[in-house]
A and B are shown apart, each in its own frame.
Chain A
């Protein structure tokens, strides 16, 4: 998880404003404040996470991103971050559009269902994959819309959402994903980080 946050922080310029959607306990928010002097706010659904963030002095609003992003005015942040939760929404398309309404740019990361271990899990064992980035079993997973890096790439092309950069994350390495290396990176990246808008 830390690696992913570091990669997201590396993507962001200094002194910008950020909304962290699904900010959890505020680890990414703290990292952005410390490393990039970023003015960051959070939206989080779980009360215990919200109160934890508030105790750390982070500005966090308790709410559901699926229905409550409408409280943020158009283009009120430079960046809106959505870390590994796009697949958990009922309507990811609507959420994605909302992210790009609220922020000039959106940074969206996804657990890659195209990662080779995930593929082999299903192919050889005939079971729904359980990995480090996808720790839940089929009956208790919050993930409703699993997708691969390639899926999201195609989705953005179809919906005319501009992709500025894609970062693939493997064990310790980050690498840029382009159309030319999409197939191979889709196989070897655990997480995909999309800079959209």
Chain B
């Protein structure tokens, strides 16, 4: 943990710098009251979003992308806040699988997040302090409902496609269930209809890491302009392990040492894999809020579509007109092919139109974020063919 000592002085300043940047991003102030699952009603809160490409005259080319746990609205190109590549740059952009020359791509930062949308680091107008743990516990359904308001604002009655991977896939499923017939097609990628015990356990590990950091201070750290970065970094490391496959990790790192010929007989990062995790952990704290991790992982854990319908998953998908493409990755142990197939089975049982493909890859859960040609080709083919069908439907 010595590695990060250099970060300490700069961190508070950095956070303010980020907040400064956040002033310039697109935000919709949601005035329509939103009844949250926790029974609180909220209104007058910001939803930060970004769009790519142009909405055509017939409004038949809109694709809503939902981001995953640590993502944000900056899907493609360079993220203006972090100055790094957008999280789905591999898939979204001009001439890419989701071609922004043809399609109008929308992505909003989830509520509970920290890229400008209403979240625990925002100022609570009641006491002029950051919400911290006074922020309400939100759900995937709450997240999706807030984004539907954005579609209204943009004048989009029906999406060509709703898509996302991991937690983004859960949102895509929830969107179709909560707003039937608002999407012509949907691609839930590497996700499930409810969070498994293993996934809840991993999320709990991440939360415990944050909460075990004394700087966290019951979520009050922002009042002192600090971040519990050690805890947050460990939380991120847990995530990173779960995003790779055993084989992929072995091939990438093996037992290779980090820029040294022999063991140091210390607890510094001797192995490349250690160095990788530390790097991932400590770059993450520069762009993310620790309380957001707590809230968003909780939203994932609470996700259970069948529970919303008294245990009936088939009931959840009843009367779906949306055309689904479910995609899983063979080496994903976080959201396994078996879990993705359960979604397919339920959709089938409900009589929905569903396709399913398992992409064979060693890249684990992360496969949807990287350049995985077979995956991108499948997604592109589906969206393009759906666009043709959607145009025809609109014409009729």
Name A residues whose Cβ lies closer than 8 Å to a Cβ of B.
Answer: 41, 47, 50-51, 53-63, 71-73, 76
How many residue pairs, one in A and one in B, have C-beta atoms under 8 Å apart? 64
Q: Is the CB of A51 within 8 A of B323?
A: no
Q: Does B354 contact A (CB under 8 A)?
A: yes
Q: Which parts of B324-372 form the interface with A (CB within 8 Å)? A: 325, 341, 344-345, 348-349, 351, 353-360
* A55 partner, pick from B349, B354, B358, B382, beta carbons under 8 A: B382
Q: Is the CB of A71 within 8 A of B348?
A: yes
User: Which 3 A-B pairs give the minimum distances between C-beta atoms?
Assistant: A55-B381, A57-B385, A71-B345
The answer for the CA separation of A72 and B348 in the assembled complex, in Å, is 6
Q: Does B378 contact A (CB under 8 A)?
A: yes
The answer for the CA separation of A158 and B358 in the assembled complex, in Å, is 39
The answer for the CA separation of A50 and B341 in the assembled complex, in Å, is 15
Q: Is the CB of A55 within 8 A of B378?
A: yes
New A-B pairs, 10, CB < 8 Å, besides A51-B374, A76-B348? A50-B355, A50-B357, A54-B325, A54-B385, A55-B377, A56-B381, A57-B382, A57-B386, A63-B356, A73-B349
Q: Does B389 contact A (CB under 8 A)?
A: yes
The answer for the CA separation of A162 and B297 in the assembled complex, in Å, is 55
Q: Is the CB of A51 within 8 A of B377?
A: yes
Q: Is the interface of B mostly helix, strand, loop or mixed?
A: helix
Q: Is the CB of A60 within 8 A of B355?
A: yes
Q: Does B41 contact A (CB under 8 A)?
A: no
Q: By the criterion of a CB under 8 Å from any partner CB, how many residues of chain B are at the interface?
A: 27
| Least distance between A143 CB and chain B CB atoms (Å) | 25
Q: Does B388 contact A (CB under 8 A)?
A: yes
| Least distance between B385 CB and chain A CB atoms (Å) | 3
| Least distance between A17 CB and chain B CB atoms (Å) | 10
Closest to B385 in A: A57
| Least distance between B4 CB and chain A CB atoms (Å) | 43
| A56 cross-chain contacts in B, Cβ below 8 A | 381, 385
| A53 cross-chain contacts in B, Cβ below 8 A | 355
Q: Is the CB of B381 within 8 A of A59?
A: no
| B374 cross-chain contacts in A, Cβ below 8 A | 47, 51
| B356 cross-chain contacts in A, Cβ below 8 A | 50, 60-63
Known: A41-B353, A55-B381, A59-B323. A71 touches B358 (CB 8 A): no
Known: A47-B357, A62-B356. A54 touches B378 (CB 8 A): yes
Closest to B351 in A: A76
| A63 cross-chain contacts in B, Cβ below 8 A | 341, 356
The answer for the CA separation of A53 and B323 in the assembled complex, in Å, is 14
Closest to A61 in B: B356
| B360 cross-chain contacts in A, Cβ below 8 A | 47
| Least distance between B63 CB and chain A CB atoms (Å) | 16
| B384 cross-chain contacts in A, Cβ below 8 A | 55
The answer for the CA separation of A55 and B348 in the assembled complex, in Å, is 20
| B353 cross-chain contacts in A, Cβ below 8 A | 41, 59
The answer for the CA separation of A47 and B357 in the assembled complex, in Å, is 7
The answer for the CA separation of A55 and B384 in the assembled complex, in Å, is 8
| A55 cross-chain contacts in B, Cβ below 8 A | 377-378, 380-382, 384-385
Q: Is the CB of B354 within 8 A of A51?
A: no
| Least distance between A63 CB and chain B CB atoms (Å) | 7
| A71 cross-chain contacts in B, Cβ below 8 A | 341, 344-345, 348-349
| Least distance between B381 CB and chain A CB atoms (Å) | 3
The answer for the CA separation of A51 and B91 in the assembled complex, in Å, is 17
The answer for the CA separation of A55 and B389 in the assembled complex, in Å, is 12
| B341 cross-chain contacts in A, Cβ below 8 A | 63, 71
Known: A59-B323, A73-B349. A51 touches B344 (CB 8 A): no
| B345 cross-chain contacts in A, Cβ below 8 A | 71
